[in-house]
């Protein structure tokens, strides 16, 4: 069984992508109350921890750890204080990775991290014995109607990661960088039907749209699960081929 721990879970975008790829999520870490309520609703019975700074996992070692660590220290819309920002939470994520030592790590952040600490993150993972690389994949490459770009950091303990079958699998991920001919990607690639985030179907009440601020904040902090799925399904292929 392929297993998964999701850090900085938000509304569960990584967990959804992992589920599509055949992984079972065994733990979440999320501090915000509204995303917590959605995780409890859609993933009942899965361990949910609140503070990543105090998170210490004592259960089974997962195949994969994911995490979209906070982007505010790097976002072009902010002050770009980087490691001086108190929301810089890569070190706690690295601590968890070094303690649990999953076979795979997949992290996500905004495009501007490439101008700030991306090389440091990759070096940190390599110091822990992982082979690491990063990919720049726009959301529109997987059928979403937005050009928003994300940096995806992929790391593995497997020597096959950059060789043989692993190299072949990840080359397929690189081919989705272009947004050309991707308008029907969801249908042609067999993704489960989900609403486009740019056209949300929100239920109204007499008092307006429930949890309006929380919903917008959650969407703003969410990852595009379609892109994460492309990467995680290739991780599943590698695991299957090397089992």
The set of catalytic residues is 71
Q: Quick one: which of 75, 70, 114 has its CA closest to 92?
A: 70
Task: Write out the two tokens for 216.
Answer: 């917008």
Per the CB < 8 A criterion, the answer to whether 10 and 223 are in contact is yes
Longest dimension (CA), the chain: 59
- The Cα–Cα gap between 152 and 137 comes to 8
**H helices then E strands: how many in the chain?**
8, 7
Q: CA-CA distance, 56 to 18, in Å (whole number)?
A: 22
How far apart, in Å, are the Cα atoms of 136 and each of 25, 63, 104, 131, 146? 25, 23, 18, 17, 14
Closest to 104 measured CA to CA, from 28, 192, 23, 180: 23
Question: What helix, strand, coil percent values describe the chain, rounded to 5?
Answer: 40, 20, 40
In terms of Cα–Cα distance, which of 96, 84, 90 is closest to 108? 90
């Amino acid at each position: 069984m392929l297993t998964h721990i999701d850090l900085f879970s938000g509304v569960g975008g990584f967990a959804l992508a992992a589920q599509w790829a055949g992984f079972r999520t065994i733990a979440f870490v999320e501090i915000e109350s509204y995303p917590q309520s959605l995780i409890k609703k859609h993933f009942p019975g899965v361990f949910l921890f609140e503070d990543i700074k105090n998170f210490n996992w004592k259960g089974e070692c997962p195949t994969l750890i994911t995490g979209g660590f906070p982007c505010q220290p790097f976002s072009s819309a902010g002050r770009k204080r980087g490691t001086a920002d108190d929301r810089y939470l890569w070190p706690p994520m690295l601590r968890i990775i070094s303690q649990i030592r999953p076979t795979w790590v997949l992290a996500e952040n905004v495009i501007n991290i490439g101008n700030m600490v991306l090389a440091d993150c990759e070096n940190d993972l390599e110091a822990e014995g992982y082979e690491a690389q990063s990919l720049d994949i726009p959301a529109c490459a997987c059928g979403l109607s937005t050009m928003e770009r994300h940096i995806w950091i992929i790391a593995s303990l497997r020597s096959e990661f950059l060789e043989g079958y692993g190299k072949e699998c990840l080359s397929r991920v690189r081919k989705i960088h272009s947004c050309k001919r991707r308008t029907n990607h969801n249908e042609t690639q067999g993704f489960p039907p989900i609403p486009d985030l740019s056209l949300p179907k929100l239920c109204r009440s007499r008092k307006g749209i429930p949890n309006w601020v929380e919903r917008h904040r959650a969407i703003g902090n969410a990852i595009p699960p379609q892109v994460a799925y492309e990467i995680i399904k290739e991780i599943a292929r590698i695991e299957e081929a090397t089992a």
